[in-house]
Chain A
Amino acid sequence: MAIVDEQGRLWGRFNLLDAIVLVLVVGLVPLGYGAYALFRTPLPALTRVAPAELFQGPNMRFSVRGEHLRPYMRVSVGSYQGQTFLFKDTTEAEVDLVDVPPGVYDVVLFDFAQERSRLPKALTIHPSVLPDAKVVVVGMFGNLKPEQTASIKVGLIVPAVGEVVAVGKPVSQVTRIFSKLTEVEVQVPNGLMVPVAMRMACWVRAAQGQPECVANGTGLHPSALMFLPTPVGTLPFQIDQVRGTQPLVPIDITVRFSGPPEALAQLTIGDADLGEITNELSVGGRVTGLTGGGSTRDARLTVNAQQGNAGWIYTNHPLRVGGPFAMKNARYELNGTIVHVAAGAAR
């Protein structure tokens, strides 16, 4: 019996063309499945996190384990995006975190498009082993219009940062910026600044062994610029001075200034020590009496000092007989030696 007969039928039963079409169609099914299996991107999933607990600080790194991971994926903890996704293989990657506050977080895996996997409450970040702290920060809220200055008042709570404890008079706005190692004052036309002292909560971190207090993601240092939420919107806040929370106490001291007679001749009763930065709320001192002349003059000053563990502290420097004292204001800068600290004030 012929395989294909005279009428074009296969083994006398099937039309040859029909049979070819049928084989092609049937053949498409494994072909389609093969293509699907070959080109399908398997969905990734997270299985666990190691370590599951971290202490807040620099170098917060953890490892995610899972399946079908790819180099282009990302991980976040809660709403904080991981800084890196160091792909090791399809089952493991490492993630670095920066400035994530303490808490218990979901670990979420994203591919290029969307969330793909989530481990609920899989990572706990404990507070830094260094203690939390409170400091008083003196600075200026800027970018204010005249009608907005009244919104900055004592008792104002800045969420997650602190409370305003003192407010000064509005002044024209000047922002200090760094140009290499020097500071440049940038005038801001039509802008006003309001001096404030704020009691701030901060946490101590020790980057490369250098402890500093951090609030709102910013290390608290003179000239640091923060952006803080206020009733009139987010405002820049530039720090002028950071000090402890101890109360300010007026202390009488005597300082022997030496130097060119022309410079010493500038000293007059009533002069203020304003320090490096002019802010009426910065700790200051005032000259109350003068003796001597020529190249050496003794000045009696009343300074606002704080009680420290080892004695009185003025502008973050100890007040000790024999110690240095620098007096700065708009007219002069003089260096001297403390020759007397009032006995009643000494510890």
Chain B
Amino acid sequence: MSGTRALWLAVAAGAGLGLAYSLSPMTVLCLPLLAALAVWAGRGLSARERRWFVSLVTVGVVARLVVIAVLFVTADSDRPFATLFGDEEFFKLRSVWIRNVGLAVPVSRADFIYAFDEVGQSSYLYLLALLQAMVGPIPYGVHVMNATVYLAGVLIVYRYVRPAFGEVAALGGLALLLFFPTLFVWSISALKEPSYTLVAVAELWCCLYLVRGRRWWQRGVAAVGLVTCIFALESLRRGGLSVGVAGSLGGLALGIISSRPRLAWATLAASPLLAMVLLLPPVQDRALSVVRSSAVYHGGHIVSSGYSYKILDGRYYHDGRLLWAMDGREAGQYVVRSLVSYVTEPVPWRAESAALRAYLPEQMLWYVLLAFVPFGLVAGLRRDPLLTSLLASHAGALIVMVALTSGNIGTLIRHRGLALPYLAWLAALGICVVVGWLTQPSRSREGVHAYGDR
């Protein structure tokens, strides 16, 4: 290629890139990043596995970009921008207002008040504001950015799940997380779920390196990263701190115990002592207080708009103040019922709207996935106790937190998606195990290995 031709090509490429950047800066910034992530995540795969991987990721990315493009093209000019969900407007508007206030661009006084309203405060708003301060308003670019953020999280977990759970389980988990319908929609939304997923993945990664770091400084960096990620989770969503602490401490403890038989036996022997501690009045009082506060949240969901489910005695919904006097027996019932509702709601025979009926196929898929999780959990503990424990404990912490505080079906479905990035890998492994048993019954235990190459 002659120097002149190369120069013209470079100029044309630069002009094209500039034009594309002026039309959609986030697309220009995110797509190369996504491509680099996919190349990184696809390193070291066999040719066949790579074909599947590339196909899944390409379809996942293209499908998302197509939906975002349709959203853009079908926007109504009577609205400032189109959204997939009502809540997105809240993030798009508030982040623009915060950005404008930061840049001293005059905004309406009402907007100034709402921009800094306590309700719905999240570091995600400031992240969006910062991005928009750098590249300008991104009412549709935010969807591309969130798709990138979500896919980055999924690809990172794929990288460290694959060596542990095997190629088929890893590809299965990847496919679930890319195409599970509600996760697909959340991943391209302007909501904070994708950012939460990425930070949660980073937190999981730090937990792993806290134990597996080869040098002391690697472990030190992982510890700092872990603390940072936990606080980032809390800043994104209230309760993130509890989930991060419970998930990481529980997962690390379970992972270490389950990989050391003597320690496991010692823990089992000490379990009555632990049970006695849990029965101490101060511990009981604290637990009761937490359950009562959670029930108050639940009661708030019941009166919110949309469809809800009730798990408390009717008098508590009539007079919410009674919740602060709920006794231990009813609190225990509330905990059990809330966990059951977390799994079963929306029950098919109470799907009251067209949207809920349309959701029922995914609900069936949810039931099926959950059924396979225990198999994946047992197999995972045999293959990689630490990773499996961390996935299980984070999922468990999220399930408990969401179950105790939910009451609105739409919100429950949305928040249930937070646990899926942990559960999907265990479910995929569980499916592999069960299929292995069914197809090779004589190799009951070894069947797991047939679906993976550790």
Contact = CB atoms under 8 A, between A and B. Distances in A.
B78 A81 contact: no
Contacts of A41: 77
Interface string A144-171: 0000000000000000000000000000
B97 interface: yes
Residue picked from A28, A35, A71, A113, most chain B C-beta under 10 Å: A113
Contacts of A32: 19, 23
Contact of A113 (B77, B96, B109): B96
Contacts of B19: 28, 32
A320 B90 CA distance: 64
A41 B23 CA distance: 13
Contact of A74 (B72, B97, B110): B110
A119 B80 CA distance: 23
A25 B19 CA distance: 12
Interface in B1-22: 12, 16, 19
A212 interface: no
Interface stretch (B99-107, B239-247, B377-385, B425-433): B99-107
Contact of A36 (B23, B77, B80, B109): B23
Nearest to A112: B80
B77 A25 contact: no
Contact of A115 (B81, B96, B106): B106
B348 to A, nearest CB: 39
Interface string B202-220: 0000000000000000000
A110 interface: yes
Interface residues of A, number: 21
A25 B12 contact: yes
A111 B80 contact: yes
B79 interface: yes
Interface string A25-39: 100100010011001
A113 B137 contact: yes
Interface string B94-132: 001100100001111111000000000000000000000
B93 interface: yes
A328 interface: no
Given A113-B96, A113-B97, A114-B100, A81 B80 contact: no
Nearest to A109: B108
A81 B16 contact: no
A115 B107 contact: yes
Contacts of A61: none
Contacts of B78: 70-72
A79 interface: yes
Interface residues of B, number: 22
Contacts of A25: 12, 16
Nearest to B20: A32
B93 A112 contact: yes
Interface in B47-96: 72, 77-81, 93, 96
B393 to A, nearest CB: 42
B23 A81 contact: no
B12 A112 contact: no
Contacts of B16: 25, 28
Given A28-B16, A36-B23, A112-B96, A72 B106 contact: no
A76 interface: yes
Interface string A100-137: 00000000101111110000000000000000000000
A72 B109 contact: no
A72 B107 contact: no
B166 to A, nearest CB: 43
Given A70-B78, A112-B96, A113-B100, A35 B110 contact: no
A81 B108 contact: yes
Nearest to A35: B23
B107 A114 contact: yes
A28 B107 CA distance: 37
A79 B106 CA distance: 11
Contact of A110 (B77, B79, B107): B107
Nearest to B89: A112
Given A35-B23, A110-B111, A115 B79 contact: no
B109 A81 contact: yes
Nearest to B111: A110
Nearest to B72: A39
B23 A70 contact: no
Nearest to B96: A113
B447 to A, nearest CB: 52
Interface string A74-100: 101001010000000000000000000
A78 to B, nearest CB: 10
A74 B108 contact: yes
Contacts of B106: 108, 114-115
A73 to B, nearest CB: 9
Contacts of A111: 80
A35 B93 CA distance: 24
Contacts of B80: 70, 72, 111-113
B107 A113 contact: yes
A133 B81 CA distance: 49
Contacts of B108: 74, 76, 81, 110, 115
Interface in A28-57: 28, 32, 35-36, 39, 41
Contacts of B100: 113-114
Contacts of A115: 105-108
Given A25-B16, A70-B78, A72-B79, A79 B97 contact: no
B342 to A, nearest CB: 37
A273 B12 CA distance: 94
A340 B78 CA distance: 73
A4 to B, nearest CB: 21
A36 B96 CA distance: 22
Residue picked from B16, B93, B105, B108, most chain A C-beta under 10 Å: B108
A71 B80 CA distance: 9
Nearest to A38: B73
Contacts of A112: 80-81, 93, 96
Nearest to A22: B12
B79 to A, nearest CB: 6
Contacts of A36: 23
A46 to B, nearest CB: 14
Contacts of B23: 32, 35-36
Contacts of B81: 112
A10 B105 CA distance: 55
A191 to B, nearest CB: 24
Contacts of B77: 41, 70
Contacts of A35: 23
15 contacts: A28-B16, A32-B23, A36-B23, A70-B78, A70-B80, A71-B78, A76-B109, A79-B109, A108-B106, A110-B111, A112-B93, A112-B96, A113-B96, A113-B137, A115-B107
Given A113-B96, A115-B108, 20 more contacts: A32-B19, A32-B23, A39-B72, A70-B77, A70-B80, A72-B80, A74-B108, A76-B108, A79-B109, A81-B108, A81-B109, A110-B111, A112-B80, A112-B81, A113-B97, A113-B107, A113-B137, A114-B96, A114-B105, A115-B106
- The 4 A-B pairs of least Cβ separation, nearest first, read A112-B80, A115-B106, A110-B108, A113-B96
